[in-house]
Amino acid sequence: MESIMPVAAADMPHSGVRLFADSSLRDPFADYRALRDLGPVVKLASPDVYVLSRYDDVREALRVSDVLISGEGVGFSEAFNAPKGNNVIQTDGETHKRLRAAVMRPLKPEQLEQARPRLKAMIAARVDELAGGGEFDAMRSLARFLPVEAIAHFVGLEAAGRERMLEWASAAFNAIGPEQDPKDVESLRSAFAYIMSLDASKVREDSWAGQLFQAARDGQLSFTEALGAISAYVIPSLDTTILAKGHLLYLLARDPEQWKLLRERPDWIPAAVFESVRHSSVIRWFARVAKTAHRVGDQIIPAGARVMLLYGSANRDERRYPDPDRFDIRRDARDQLAWGRGAHMCAGQYLARIEMEVMLEALVERGAALHAGEPVVGANKGLFGFSELAFRLG
Ligand code: HEM
């Protein structure tokens, strides 16, 4: 095994960059570049954390999931990190494998492909409605449409849960950062309280929640773990996909040459999806804790330190992607890190990809010209995306 030579603390670059300041949250890319240029690991003044911002280093950090662990929490706040143990994203090793296997069962590509035609028909009908009218908010009327309908139906939630899903999702991601808003913490509590109160006998048997309860009856999971796994469908599935669709629509509308290319070559739709999540990664970061010291280049992250993995920066790393700020669907971006990688790689990425692909297929088939205004960029501490996007289909 390679020995780890200690490096004097003075050698570690420090930065006063404030990633959670409002201005950085709304436009983080200059700060990301500054961090990448400083070195492979940078110690932030606030919060007290080591940051990895370059592609190769983030990818390697995701690979060594037994060293940089998730079980001590993947956020900074106790509110977010607290429900550990039955929450797939904040477990390690065998527990994680068992929970992930249960969560993944309905999310495998072959299962989800069966839902593709229905999802396509739903979004095509919505595109037809919108194409007949004037300007609309693309976030509210287009990006949000499928996730809420589809996820609530797949998971098997009753109306009471459906109504609050969006609020819960955005609160959870905002509460991941330091200095939480008490409203978000309260919202997160109510999400977990709702999920913990679900009555297994009232959930549709063929729904994702129904399948988890069945796995619990079969002894593969405890009931508490099944409830924790349901939160893995509800919390990370909505805002992520909604915001990713907003970026996709905006990037294509603002670059008519790329949109023309896609209309001529609809077989490039999957490539356009990968390139959009590379260019504008929705999940800004997740954290890990170093179980033992972790070497990055000639720097050492000490055992016990909290480490921030900046996915959004890694995907703009000029060391990996030439001209990284340019959106270009001809680029091969399949190795981007917007869905993470390794043990905790996004369990719902196939669903997200299908939702994004069918939206583009519907727009291409409709032959629509895309017109976007300037978006209103949100300041969620975990998610990068638009709260409003004025849009028109020509
Ligand atoms: C564009 C949309 C999405 C993005 C950008 C996204 C991004 C991510 C990322 C970066 C991770 C890695 C977490 C880590 O490294 O600790 C992750 C994990 C996860 N995602 Fe997603 N996600 C999306 C959609 C979804 C959907 C639709 C679902 C559910 C239906 C979902 C469920 C999960 C779950 C359960 C995990 C934890 C997996 C594990 O810890 O093994 N995500 N996601």
100 CB less than 6 Å from ligand 1? Answer: yes
Domain assignment of residue 292, yes or no = yes
Q: In this predicted structure, what is the pLDDT of residue 170?
A: 87
Domain assignment of residue 4, yes or no = no
* Ligand 1 nearest atom to the CA of residue 62, by list position: 15
Domain assignment of residue 324, yes or no = yes
Mean pLDDT of 117-122: 93
Q: Is a pLDDT exceeding 50 seen at residue 371?
A: yes
- Per the listing, tokens 């270009």 go with 328
Q: What is the tally of structural domains in the chain? A: 1
Q: Is a pLDDT exceeding 50 seen at residue 10?
A: no
CA of 348 to the centre of ligand 1 (A): 6
Q: In this predicted structure, what is the pLDDT of residue 3?
A: 43
Q: 128 is written with which tokens?
A: 């037809």
- The domain in which residue 207 lies consists of 9-393
Q: Is a pLDDT exceeding 80 seen at residue 338?
A: yes
Domain assignment of residue 240, yes or no = yes
Mean pLDDT of 168-191: 86
User: Residue 266, preceding bond cis, omega within 30 degrees?
Assistant: no
Domain assignment of residue 1, yes or no = no
Mean pLDDT of 8-17: 78
- Whether residue 304 contacts residue 289, with contact meaning beta carbons closer than 8 Å, is answered with yes
Q: In this predicted structure, what is the pLDDT of residue 84?
A: 61
CA of 345 to the centre of ligand 1 (A): 7
- Outline where 52-91 has alpha helix (H): 55-63, 78-81
CA of 301 to the centre of ligand 1 (A): 26
User: Residue 322, preceding bond cis, omega within 30 degrees?
Assistant: no
67 CB less than 6 Å from ligand 1? Answer: no
Mean pLDDT, the chain, integer: 91
CA of 314 to the centre of ligand 1 (A): 17
Q: In this predicted structure, what is the pLDDT of residue 164?
A: 78
Domain assignment of residue 2, yes or no = no
Q: Is a pLDDT exceeding 80 seen at residue 327?
A: yes
Q: Write the pLDDT tens digit of every residue in 79-89.
A: 778 766 678 99
Q: Is a pLDDT exceeding 80 seen at residue 326?
A: yes
Q: Is a pLDDT exceeding 70 seen at residue 66?
A: yes
Domain assignment of residue 34, yes or no = yes
Task: State how far the Cα of 269 lies from the Cα of 248, in Å rounded to an integer.
Answer: 11
Which CATH number does the domain housing residue 325 bear?
1.10.630.10
With a pLDDT cut of 70, the percent of the chain lying above it is: 95
Q: Is a pLDDT exceeding 90 seen at residue 110?
A: yes
What is the rounded end-to-end Cα distance, in angstroms, of the chain? 61
233 CB less than 6 Å from ligand 1? Answer: yes
346 CB less than 6 Å from ligand 1? Answer: yes
Q: In this predicted structure, what is the pLDDT of residue 368?
A: 86
32 CB less than 6 Å from ligand 1? Answer: no
Q: In this predicted structure, what is the pLDDT of residue 2?
A: 42
In 3D, which of 328, 352, 359, 338 has the Cα closest to residue 259? 328
Domain assignment of residue 3, yes or no = no
* Ligand 1 nearest atom to the CA of residue 91, by list position: 40
Q: Write the pLDDT tens digit of every residue in 270-302.
A: 999 999 999 999 999 999 999 999 999 989 999
Task: State how far the Cα of 129 lies from the Cα of 125, in Å rounded to an integer.
Answer: 6
Task: State how far the Cα of 220 lies from the Cα of 179, in Å rounded to an integer.
Answer: 37
In 3D, which of 308, 251, 258 has the Cα closest to residue 277? 251
Q: In this predicted structure, what is the pLDDT of residue 160?
A: 63
Q: In this predicted structure, what is the pLDDT of residue 374?
A: 97
Q: In this predicted structure, what is the pLDDT of residue 125?
A: 94
- Whether residue 211 contacts residue 204, with contact meaning beta carbons closer than 8 Å, is answered with no
Q: Is a pLDDT exceeding 90 seen at residue 165?
A: no
Q: In this predicted structure, what is the pLDDT of residue 285?
A: 98
Q: In this predicted structure, what is the pLDDT of residue 159?
A: 64
Q: Is a pLDDT exceeding 90 seen at residue 156?
A: no
Q: Is a pLDDT exceeding 90 seen at residue 166?
A: no
Give the residue with greater pLDDT, 347 vs 78.
Answer: 347
Q: Write the pLDDT tens digit of every residue in 182-239.
A: 898 888 888 888 888 888 888 888 899 999 999 899 998 888 888 888 888 888 888 9
Q: Is a pLDDT exceeding 80 seen at residue 149?
A: no
